[in-house]
Homo-oligomer: A and B are copies of this chain.
Amino acid sequence: MKMAELSTVSGIAVATIKFYLRERLLPAGARTGPNQATYGEAHLRRLGLVRALLGVGGLSVADARNVIDAIDDPEVSLLHTFDAAQRAVSDDIDPASISAAGFARIDVITAGWHVSPLNPGRLAAARVVDAFEAVGHTDARGWFARYAAAALMVAEADLDEVEALPDVDAQAETVVVGTVLGDALFSGIRRAAQEHVSALRYGSPSSGAPTPTPPGD
A residues whose Cβ falls under 8 Å from a Cβ of B: 45, 48-49, 51-52, 55-57, 77-80, 82-84, 86-87, 89-90, 106, 109-110, 113-129, 131-132, 134-137, 140, 143-144, 146-161, 163, 170, 173-174, 177, 179, 181-202, 204-213, 215-216
Contacts and interface: CB of A to CB of B under 8 A. Distances in A.
Contacts of A83: 206-209
Stoichiometry, as copies per complex, reads 2
* Interface-centre pick from A129, A132, A146, A194 (highest chain B CB count, 10 A): A194
Main SS at interface, chain A: helix
A119 B206 contact: yes
A116 B193 CA distance: 11
B195 A115 contact: yes
B135 A45 contact: yes
Given A143-B161, A154-B193, A200-B114, A131 B187 contact: no
